[in-house]
Amino acid sequence: MSLHIKSLIVLLISMFFCKFPLPVSAEHTVNTNIPYIAGNTPKQQLDIYVPEEKPNKPLPVHVYVHGGAWTIGDKRHVVPKRAHFYTDKDIILVALNYRLSPAIHHPAHIQDIAAATHWIVQHIQEYGGDPTNMVLSGHSAGAHLVALLGTHPNYLAQQSLPQTLFKAIVPVDTAAYNLTLPPGTHERPLITRMKQGAFGTDPNTLTDASPIHQVRPNVTLSPFHLFVTHNRPEAVSQTSHFAQALQLKGHSVKSYVLQNGETHRQMNLAIFKDSDISSEILKSLLAE
């Protein structure tokens, strides 16, 4: 067989598997690159991992938002090899992309997260999911965004969605609950530049993008479960202050500082394996 024919066969096979949902294991099927907003750009798409053998009832849904300092990262960097942790437990996993800086700035990132959430609520039943039984998690910049979505009075409301939509919101290892603070002594200059590239330096914008400044009394929010590794002092401090702000305004929050030497990357991976983080996600989703 000539090299040309072999190449053609490989191309045709690749085109086939890009077009149709692909069973990636015995445990689940993945539906990839689903647009959640008009325009169908790669950064406004999501993937849905569905258990192969679904029970005869709507399934819980875990929605995950990746990190990357608002400038890098993708929904497929961590999830594909680890989605089975949830699908094995009859949980649908949704991983989503959002537009990245410096091409866009706040509030574009959070508007994408809100738009994706609206799409999920409208369509997840088509995949066997229960839109009334969902947990939202995020790591690093993704943790900042899920915290902002859960506290800000506008972004869910603009999608006609309630602040109490999620069974729990689980931000993991972020130092961005308060963007109005000056750079911490442990913050790398690169991270400072990335923050400025995403949010600029205008005080009003930084306040609007800071979850801690959006916490208000006399409203009901989804419960928060905050996780941070003790290895990152700035993140520990910001997590503590955010938890205090939620508590003082009467909101449900649990805060955990993990003491086993987890790195920032390991905190992300812990979402997808047996850990304190995944335990809280599972308890929220599987509670009767």
Q: List, in order of start, the domains of the chain with CATH numbers.
A: 27-286 (3.40.50.1820)
User: Is the confidence at residue 7, as pLDDT, over 50?
Assistant: no
Confidence of residue 22 (pLDDT cuts 50, 70, 90): very low
Structure tokens at 14: 């690749």
pLDDT tens digits for range 108-166: 999 999 999 999 999 999 999 999 999 999 999 999 999 999 999 999 999 999 999 99
Asked if residue 172 lies in contact with residue 139, where contact means CB atoms within 8 angstroms, the answer is yes
Q: How far is CA 52 from CA 23, 27, 140, 274, 285, in A?
A: 8, 5, 30, 21, 19
User: Is the confidence at residue 23, as pLDDT, over 50?
Assistant: no
Site of tokens 């910001």: 238
Asked if residue 178 lies in contact with residue 237, where contact means CB atoms within 8 angstroms, the answer is no
pLDDT tens digits for range 26-57: 479 999 999 999 886 899 999 999 999 878 89
pLDDT tens digits for range 206-260: 999 999 999 999 999 999 999 999 999 999 999 999 999 999 999 999 999 999 9
User: Is the confidence at residue 58, as pLDDT, over 80?
Assistant: yes
Confidence of residue 183 (pLDDT cuts 50, 70, 90): confident
Instruction: State the number of CA atoms in the 13 A half-sphere of 61 facing the CB.
Output: 25
